[in-house]
C-alpha cells in the first residue's frame, strides 16, 4: 500500500492506483475473514481507514480504466472521429484530475495519518488486539479453523447458483466480490494448503476477470452518461461506443455461464477439497 502511494498521488502511472487499491482490498478481505480473533476496538480505526482509502482510489481507478478503453477504441476510428473522441477523453481527464485532488487531500489529512500510525503499530506489535484463547479445547489452530472458514467462503460463492443465469448486473457484481473474498482467503493461507490450491486459484481468477470486465463496462456506461453538452458528432460516437461495449458485455455473460458450469464441476470442486486435506 505504501509503496504505491507516491505514484497514486502523482498519477504518472495508472498502475499505482490499481496496485494500491488491490493491496487495500486484500487487507480489508483479511479483516473480514478473521473478525472473531481480534477485539473489535483494536481494529476499528484500521478498517475505517482502509474503507475510506479504497473509495477515494476507486473513483480514480474507474476513470483510469475508461480512459484507457476509449483510447484503444479511438485507434479503430478515422482521424476526424478520433479528434471528436479526444475532446471527450480530455473532459474525462479533467474529471479525473479533480478526483485526484480529493485523493491527495485524503492522503494529507490528519485522519489518514492516524490510520497509518495505527496500522503500523498493529502490524509491528505481536499480539496487538488478539483475543485470548480461554481454553485449549476451543478450536484456535489453523488446522482447526481454516477448513470451516474457507468452506464458508466457498458457500458464499456457490449460493449464487439460485440467481443464475437470470441474474442482473448488480447480482454479478456482488458475486464478483464474493469470488474476490474466496480467492484472497485461499491465497492468504496457500502456504498451509495442498498443491491443488494453485490450480483452483487459477480457475477462480478466470471467472473473476470475466466478471470484472462485465462490471467495468457497466461503470463505463455510467461515467459516459454523465457527459453533457455534446455535439451531434460526439453523441453519435458515444452511441457506437456504448453499443459495442454492450455487445461485448452480452458475449461475456455467455462466457461466464460456461465458466460457472466448469467451476461447479466435480473436478474443480475436488481441487478445492484436496487442498484442505493436508490440514490434519
Would you list the DSSP string of 111-140?
A: HHHHHHHHHHHHHHSTTTTBPPPS-TTS--
Structure confidence by residue, pLDDT tens digits, 172-223:
999 999 999 999 999 999 999 999 999 999 999 999 999 999 999 999 998 9
pLDDT at 4 over 80: yes
Weakest mean pLDDT among 166-170, 193-197, 245-249: 166-170
Domain annotation covers residue 262: yes
10: containing domain: 1-125
Domain annotation covers residue 132: no
The torsion defined by the Cα of 143, 148, 153 and 157, in degrees rounded to 10, comes to 130
Angle between helices 40-74 and 14-33 (to 10 degrees): 150
What pLDDT shows up at residue 262? 95
pLDDT at 92 over 80: yes
Q: Could you tell me the sign of the dihedral formed by the alpha carbons of 57, 58, 64, 65, in that order? A: positive
Overall domain count for the chain:
2
With beta carbons less than 8 A apart as the criterion, state whether 276 and 146 touch: yes
Query: What percent of the chain is helix, strand and coil (3-state, nearest 5)?
Result: 80, 0, 20
pLDDT at 253 over 90: yes
Say if residue 63 is in the same domain as residue 197: no
User: How far apart are the C-alpha atoms of 37 and 1, rounded to whole Å?
Assistant: 23
User: How far apart are the C-alpha atoms of 225 and 116, rounded to whole Å?
Assistant: 36
Short-list 48, 39, 1, CA closest to 22: 1
pLDDT at 163 over 90: no
Say if residue 174 is in the same domain as residue 106: no
- Residue 154 CB neighbour total at 10 angstroms: 18
- Residue 240 CB neighbour total at 10 angstroms: 13
Say if residue 226 is in the same domain as residue 252: yes
What pLDDT shows up at residue 46? 94
Structure confidence by residue, pLDDT tens digits, 129-147:
888 888 888 888 889 999 9
Domain annotation covers residue 135: no
Q: Which three cell numbers stand for residue 69?
A: 478503453
Domain annotation covers residue 218: yes
pLDDT at 165 over 80: no
* CA 126 from centre of chain: 29
What pLDDT shows up at residue 280? 84
Cα–Cα separations (whole angstroms), residue 22 to 58, 68, 100 = 10, 19, 18
With beta carbons less than 8 A apart as the criterion, state whether 142 and 185 touch: no
User: What rounded mean pLDDT belongs to the chain?
Assistant: 93
* CA 258 from centre of chain: 22
Q: Residue 69 burial (CB < 10 Å; 0-12/13-18/19+)?
A: middle
Higher pLDDT among residues 102 and 41, named by residue: 102
Cα–Cα separations (whole angstroms), residue 165 to 180, 204, 267 = 20, 18, 21
Residue where one domain finishes, among candidates 70, 94, 125? 125
Domain annotation covers residue 134: no
Say if residue 121 is in the same domain as residue 191: no
pLDDT at 250 over 90: yes
Say if residue 147 is in the same domain as residue 120: no
Domain annotation covers residue 136: no
Domain annotation covers residue 133: no
Phi (first) and psi of residue 91, to 5 degrees: -65, -40
Structure confidence by residue, pLDDT tens digits, 15-42:
999 999 999 999 999 988 888 888 888 8
What pLDDT shows up at residue 137? 83
For range 147-175, the mean pLDDT: 92
Say if residue 152 is in the same domain as residue 94: no
What pLDDT shows up at residue 167? 85
User: How far apart are the C-alpha atoms of 183 and 144, rounded to whole Å?
Assistant: 20
Say if residue 41 is in the same domain as residue 173: no
- Residue 23 CB neighbour total at 10 angstroms: 19
Question: Which residues make beta-bridge pairs with 130?
Answer: 38
Report residue 156's pLDDT band, with 50, 70 and 90 as the boundaries: very high
Cα angle, residue 164 at apex, residues 160 and 165 outer, rounded to 5°: 165
Q: What is the CATH number of the domain that holds 181?
A: 1.40.20.10
With beta carbons less than 8 A apart as the criterion, state whether 32 and 46 touch: no
Amino acid at each position: 500500500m505504501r509503496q504505491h502511494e507516491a505514484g497514486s498521488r502523482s498519477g504518472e502511472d495508472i498502475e499505482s492506483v490499481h496496485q494500491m487499491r488491490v493491496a487495500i482490498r486484500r487487507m480489508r478481505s483479511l479483516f473480514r475473514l478473521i473478525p472473531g480473533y481480534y477485539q473489535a476496538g483494536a481494529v476499528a480505526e484500521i478498517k475505517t481507514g482502509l474503507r475510506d482509502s479504497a473509495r477515494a482510489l476507486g473513483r480514480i481507478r474507474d476513470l483510469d480504466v475508461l480512459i484507457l478503453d476509449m483510447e484503444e477504441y479511438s485507434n479503430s476510428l478515422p482521424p476526424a472521429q478520433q479528434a471528436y473522441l479526444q475532446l471527450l477523453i480530455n473532459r474525462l481527464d479533467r474529471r479525473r484530475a479533480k478526483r485526484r485532488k480529493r485523493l491527495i487531500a485524503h492522503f494529507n489529512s490528519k485522519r489518514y495519518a492516524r490510520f497509518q500510525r495505527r496500522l503500523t503499530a498493529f502490524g509491528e506489535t505481536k499480539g496487538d488486539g488478539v483475543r485470548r484463547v480461554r481454553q485449549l479445547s476451543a478450536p484456535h489452530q489453523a488446522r482447526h479453523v481454516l477448513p470451516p472458514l474457507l468452506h464458508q467462503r466457498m458457500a458464499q460463492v456457490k449460493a449464487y447458483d439460485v440467481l443464475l443465469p437470470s441474474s442482473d448486473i448488480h447480482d454479478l457484481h456482488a458475486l464478483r466480490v464474493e469470488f474476490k473474498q474466496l480467492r484472497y482467503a485461499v491465497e492468504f493461507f496457500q502456504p498451509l494448503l495442498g498443491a491443488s490450491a494453485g490450480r483452483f486459484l487459477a480457475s477462480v481468477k478466470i471467472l473473476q476477470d470475466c466478471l470484472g470486465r462485465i462490471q467495468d463496462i457497466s461503470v463505463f456506461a455510467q461515467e459516459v452518461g454523465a457527459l453533457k453538452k455534446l455535439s451531434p458528432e460526439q453523441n453519435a460516437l458515444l452511441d457506437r461506443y456504448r453499443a459495442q461495449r454492450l455487445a461485448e458485455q452480452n458475449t461475456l455473460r455467455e462466457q461466464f455461464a460456461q465458466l460457472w458450469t466448469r467451476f461447479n464441476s466435480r473436478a474443480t470442486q475436488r481441487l478445492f477439497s484436496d487442498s484442505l486435506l493436508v490440514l490434519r
